[in-house]
Structure 1
């Protein structure tokens, strides 16, 4: 089964490219973004609009309410079923997103979770004592410093999971969310990576945040601020605005935090895709004409037999 995946950091043109390729190669699009599953969170997640879809079917967008949880395992199961259905319709599945764990867990056959990891009671007690003394936020910041992957996925109020992730990392040197061995690929996949010069990328991210604020980001964030403990409320672009609503910081400072965290996330995204997957990289920001190169590369790949 052939599958295209378009990956890379935020603000590099993944959505636009996916629609162009879906038109060119008779495809349907599956969102591989952990936040676009939530209804009502459109601006802060840079969700594709109905106009932008241009009639191309999109899947796994708006499939959860903002107060519901959604895991990589949920995505893995549903996205594989969707790939099967798209292929049976004679269409080409195109996965688009920047959530590395989602993309990897979909295209490769590995189990998610921490089964079989070593344990150490003394380490666990040490982190429990640290949390009791310093609070969950400090524990989360400690986890973020050593295992950003786990910190991104574990809510800061889930002390048990944070402690377990810290314990596993100290004992093994790897994230609790990493596969233990390189599993086999499930699909004949062609991975397209979009990126550009870091200075340009960061300028585009900053500009995108400013546009989101103009388009109504604060209204979305304000709704989430009423339920700050739900999973969706931890998304970048929302949680940074909560201190503004409570009067603890200015709007300008809160927006700068959104920009800072968005840039840091983009850096983590690039690190993930470069280190864990074989990706064909292109820069459509500086060289938009490279889309013809991408189309030619895909055409050759499609001609190859499975």
Structure 2
């Protein structure tokens, strides 16, 4: 007996091989690929965002690549509204949709009913547009205070520094007349809903999680950055910078202009021009695209000071990109653990782990296992490969919709779990002890008897 055609979702950190597996599964099962990457929806920056190459795109049909320009906004709501009809159409044709990407919130928006949007919101009125302009002129603190007046629950749940979410909550109220809290409550009260939102959309879903040993992944990510230079990253960044850097007054806080792979190079792009890019390209080509070491830069400075300075800045940008990319991969790992494996009352499809650490073992360790999982599911047969066991998050029973402010550290925290972690942290304890020590010293100083000044003796000199 055949089951319904599944929705296949490939999760994983940057650099774990998601594109490779998506192509192999699309060819094996006749599926089509839906990119769930918040940066790959934009045109340009193909190298910086590790977009599937034209040759790879020719192997299987891809959706939601290059569907927006950097000059226009593209939110998770835009993504969801574009992706859901594609999934429905593919399922109707008995073709498995293969969702692949590193933007986990995009993937969540497809799997569960978690976003709040309305028809009124999609057709914004002039008054709403004017309101948006007014909000743009307000500080984040002022916006949070305004939200507290119209929707205290949301203000308590949203971090006071999270301007995007604060504005979003205000916009929902302005466009619908209902608070975001009221809408979330309606969503959560649906059958299958939970504190994270509404129910699961597609019960016939297979989640494949590509994992890689962190030290192996770090080395792989570093090599990928070096490879980007050889693919023409510098030229791509220069063209993009010249076209879009000044497209908005908030250029470095919105959309693709904040993508990993571009913003790290802004210091170089702002200081040097295309002619210097050509000089660096010539140097890199001559040296097999190996950036110079600190010792080599010092030796160069006396003969080619300008070239050495630009190479030094470019090397710094590349080092920053490597660092940020490694951090992002860990953040992706944490998200999947918390939202897919440790949600107490959420309907989560079975999650299967595939180890991509050893490249030579890929056919057996990754592709064959994924093929077996999908085949067994489609044929309604037991699979020898078991899904990952669910785990309990240590904050599962805590209130995650309340805010706390630490006066000692001058920081806000949302949720009892994060608040508890902070109170137990060494940094907080050190600051608390330092404050107590200063208070004791001040009290001791105040308690000491004040010595009386010595009276001046009369001047007897003649």
Classify the TM-score, shorter chain: 0.7 to 0.9
Q: Which of 339, 355, 374 is the aligned partner of 1:298?
A: 374
Deviation, structure 1 residue 184: 1.3
Name 1:256's counterpart in structure 2. 319
State the shift of 1:95 in Å. 0.3
Asked if structure 2 preserves the Cα contact closer than 8 Å seen for 1:5 and 1:95, the reply is yes
Contact 2:23 2:59 in 1 (8 A): no
User: What is the CA distance between 1:15 and its match in structure 2?
Assistant: 0.5
Which gives a bigger RCO, structure 1 or 2 (Cα 8 Å, sep 6+)? 1
- The RMSD of aligned alpha carbons is 3.2
Give the Cα separation in 1 of the matches to 2:198 and 2:99: 19
TM-score of the two chains, using structure 1 as the length reference? 0.77
Mapped partners of 1:34, 1:269: distance in 2: 13
Question: How far 1:225 sits from its partner (Å)?
Answer: 2.7
Q: Residues 164 and 208 (structure 1 numbering): CA distance in 2 closer, same or farther, change over 3 Å?
A: same
The farther-off stretch of 41-50 and 223-232 is 223-232
Question: Do the aligned partners of 2:225 and 2:322 also contact (CA within 8 Å) in 1?
Answer: yes
Q: CA deviation at 1:82?
A: 0.5
Contact between 1:222 and 1:242, CA under 8 Å: does it hold in 2? no
Sort the Cα spacing of 1:77 and 1:276 in 2 relative to 1 into closer, same or farther, 3 A: same
C-alpha distance in structure 1 between counterparts of 2:113 and 2:67, whole Å? 24
Equivalent position to 2:338, from 270, 275, 297: 275
Q: Which position in structure 1 is the counterpart of 2:112?
A: 108
In structure 1, C-alpha distance between the alignment counterparts of 2:52 and 2:140, rounded to whole Å: 45
The question of 1:204 aligning with 2:220 is answered yes
Q: Quick one: distance in 2 between partners of 1:182 and 1:61?
A: 27
Greater CA deviation, 241-250 or 13-22? 241-250
Given that 2:238 and 2:269 are in contact with CA atoms closer than 8 Å, whether structure 1 keeps it comes out as yes
5+ residue gaps, structure 2, are 118-137, 144-157, 169-193, 246-250, 273-311, 342-350, 382-462
Does residue 284 (structure 1) correspond to residue 284 (structure 2)? The answer is no
User: 2: CA distance between counterparts of 1:186 and 1:282?
Assistant: 24
Q: Deviation per CA, 1:153-174: give whole Å up to 9, x if none.
A: x8xxxxx437769xxxxxxxxx
SS in 2 for 1:30: strand
CA contact (8 A) 1:221 1:239 kept: no
Aligned length: 263
Please give the secondary structure, in 1, of the residue aligned with 2:271: coil
Equivalent positions of 1:51-130 (< 5 A) are 51-112=55-116, 127=141
Give the aligned partner of residue 29 of structure 2. 25
Change (3 A) 1:240 1:162: farther
In structure 1, stretches of 5+ residues that fail to align are 114-123, 130-145, 155-159, 166-178
Deviation at 1:223, TM superposition (A): 3.1
Residues 35 and 99 of structure 2 are in contact (CA less than 8 Å); yes or no, is this contact kept in structure 1? Answer: yes
Instruction: Give the structure-2-normalised TM-score.
Output: 0.52
Q: How does 1:231-246 map to 2 (within 5 A)?
A: 231-246=255-270
- Where does residue 161 of structure 1 map in the other structure? 164
Residues in 1 aligned to 2:165 and 2:220: alpha-carbon distance in whole angstroms: 33
Q: What CA distance in whole angstroms lies between the structure 1 residues aligned with 2:165 and 2:60?
A: 40
Q: Whose radius of gyration is greater, 1 or 2? A: 2
State the Cα distance separating 1:181 from its structure 2 match.
2.9
CA distance in 1, matches of 2:166, 2:66: 32
1:45 corresponds to which of 43, 49, 54 = 49
User: Structure 2 vs 1, CA of residues 112 and 259 (structure 1 numbering), >3 Å: closer, same or farther?
Assistant: farther
Q: Which moved further from structure 2: 213-222 or 290-299?
A: 213-222
Residues in 1 aligned to 2:379 and 2:57: alpha-carbon distance in whole angstroms: 27
Aligned counterparts of 1:263 and 1:231: Cα–Cα separation in 2: 21
Change in Cα spacing, 1:225 to 1:189, as seen in structure 2 (3 Å) is same
Partner of 2:200: 185
- Corresponding residue number in structure 2 for 1:15: 19
Distance change (3 Å), C-alpha of 1:161 and 1:53 = closer
CA distance 1:110–1:204, change in 2 (3 Å): same
